[in-house]
Amino acid sequence: MAIDIKTASGKFQDLLIRHELDVLGFTEKIQGDILSILRLLEKDLVAEIAKIDVTGVSATSYKRKRLQKLLQETRTIIKQSYTETYGVASEHMYMFAKNESAFVAAGLSHAIGVDLGAVVLAPEMLRVLATGVLIEGAASGEWWSRQAYNTQYRFEKAMQIGVASGESLGDLIKRVRGTKENGYTDGIMNVTRRDARALVRTSVQAVANATREEAYRANDDLIEGLVWVSTLDLRTSEHCIARSGLLYSLDYEPIGHEIPWGMGPGRIHWSCRSTSTPKTKSWEQLSRNGAIRTGGRPTNIQSIFERRLREKGLSQEEISEVMMNARSSMDGQVPKDIIFESWLWSKSEEAQNKLLGKGKAELFREGKISLTDLIDQRGRIRTLEQLEALVRELQITA
């Protein structure tokens, strides 16, 4: 769908869409660094299995002692590996948050047409955002600790089952590494790598959105609200479908609807791909409030435009043209063509059924529910039965 880039909000959203390619590139980079650490962890676990060799003794009591030693040694190895993993992830996320803050400042100047001194977040705030953003109620450090625990648990169970089954040393190693016949996808470390990739992907999106939202609030003299933007495909969750295109205040209060913000884009559920885009204030609002910062003091927007355009060497005629374009673009409107509902209407019944489920899709096609009805006022997904009850209630009150 084409974005209406005639408005300042639309221009920023268009820039944001292009920027997602950079975000994907960063995600792949940090995933590569984390997977390198986990490959070393796999080698260390395999080396411990070979060194202690539970299969090298026949008596059950000796096997048990060697197994306990193996599990004790690997607990330390796994803990150290995930401590390093979290440290690498945290540093990457800090640099990423720094880049996202700079992107918002530059993006606002691009969208409006003139550098109006957009605020860049302080390093202390960026550190907090990089490590303190919650994903389904838990910070990234807690999620990495959970993954360390899960890896240790899978390793212990695999070794206990293998030893109890009388497997060979090679078989125990295959439980960790996987088998060549299956492309090494059937070992416990493949699950560990998959979980790590998902956590990196979710963390990047969460930090990106949290940093942008904090930057939007820091520039509240230019921005008055947030628009929820959902990815338009058949993997989008009902949480994000219902919120697509909805407007919220900078304090996350619903505007013109009752659907709560919840944890927000990128954080409302695991692997969330939604984001938000700012709704810029109109030219009239900015001129009336005189709230643009310059050297820490509110200044009239028109005088800033004219002065900075003259500094660029523009003639009076060119300045007048830029000013006219700025006035027309800064209309305070929400970007168009980002509503999920209109996108879904363009899809086949089969695609609608796949996304919503047949029952919900039929209610949608019959015009009995809108996509915002998928979520109740407490942010919970309504079941088909609850939606049918809602339809009956509306029919009675109509």
Q: What confidence tens digit (pLDDT) does each residue in 372-394 have? A: 788 776 667 788 988 888 888 87
Q: What confidence tens digit (pLDDT) does each residue in 315-326 have? A: 766 655 555 555
Lowest mean pLDDT among 13-17, 71-75, 266-270, 377-381: 377-381
Specify the higher pLDDT residue, 135 or 122: 122
Q: How much of the chain, in percent, has pLDDT values that exceed 90? A: 43
Q: Is the pLDDT assigned to residue 293 strictly greater than 70?
A: no
Query: What pLDDT, on the 0 to 100 scale, is given for residue 330?
Result: 47
Query: What pLDDT, on the 0 to 100 scale, is given for residue 396?
Result: 66
| Confidence grade of residue 166 (pLDDT, cut at 50, 70, 90) | very high
Tokens describing residue 257: 């609807």
| Confidence grade of residue 1 (pLDDT, cut at 50, 70, 90) | very low
Query: Is the pTM higher than 0.75?
Result: no
Specify the higher pLDDT residue, 196 or 133: 196
Q: Is the pLDDT assigned to residue 314 strictly greater than 70?
A: no
The reply to whether 362 falls in a domain is: no
Between the alpha carbon of residue 148 and those of residues 82, 171, 190, 280, the distances in Å are 6, 23, 14, 43
Q: What is the mean pLDDT of residues 181-201?
A: 93
Total count of residues recorded for the chain:
398
The reply to whether 176 falls in a domain is: yes
Query: What pLDDT, on the 0 to 100 scale, is given for residue 294?
Result: 47
| Confidence grade of residue 265 (pLDDT, cut at 50, 70, 90) | confident
Q: Is the pLDDT assigned to residue 136 strictly greater than 90?
A: no
Total domains, the chain: 1
Specify the higher pLDDT residue, 133 or 70: 70
Q: Answer whether 45's CB lies under 8 Å from 176's CB.
A: yes
Rounded to whole angstroms, the Cα distance separating 4 from 63 reads 69
The reply to whether 396 falls in a domain is: no
Q: Which ranges constitute the DSSP H helices of the chain?
A: 8-52, 60-112, 123-132, 140-164, 169-177, 188-218, 238-243, 283-289, 301-311, 316-329, 340-345, 349-356, 358-365, 384-397
| Confidence grade of residue 304 (pLDDT, cut at 50, 70, 90) | low
Domain that holds residue 185: 8-217
The reply to whether 281 falls in a domain is: no
The reply to whether 356 falls in a domain is: no
Q: How much of the chain, in percent, has pLDDT values that exceed 70? A: 80
User: String of b and e for 296-331 (b: at least 16 CB within 10 Å)?
Assistant: eeebebbebbbebbeeeeeeeeebeebbeebbebbb
The reply to whether 324 falls in a domain is: no
Query: What pLDDT, on the 0 to 100 scale, is given for residue 346?
Result: 74
The reply to whether 275 falls in a domain is: no
Rounded to whole angstroms, the Cα distance separating 340 from 236 reads 10
Q: Is the pLDDT assigned to residue 3 strictly greater than 60?
A: no
Identify the CA nearest to 371 among candidates 232, 273, 263, 275: 232
The reply to whether 237 falls in a domain is: no
Q: What confidence tens digit (pLDDT) does each residue in 38-88 have? A: 999 999 999 999 999 999 888 889 999 999 999 999 999 999 999 999 999
Lowest mean pLDDT among 116-120, 158-162, 208-212, 387-391: 116-120
Rounded to whole angstroms, the Cα distance separating 51 from 69 reads 11
- 246-249: long-range contacts (C-beta < 8 A, 24 or more apart)? 246/372, 247/279, 247/334, 248/276, 249/224, 249/225
Specify the higher pLDDT residue, 156 or 19: 156
Q: What is the mean pLDDT of the chain?
A: 83
Give the CA dihedral 90, 94, 100, 105, nearest 10 degrees. Answer: 160
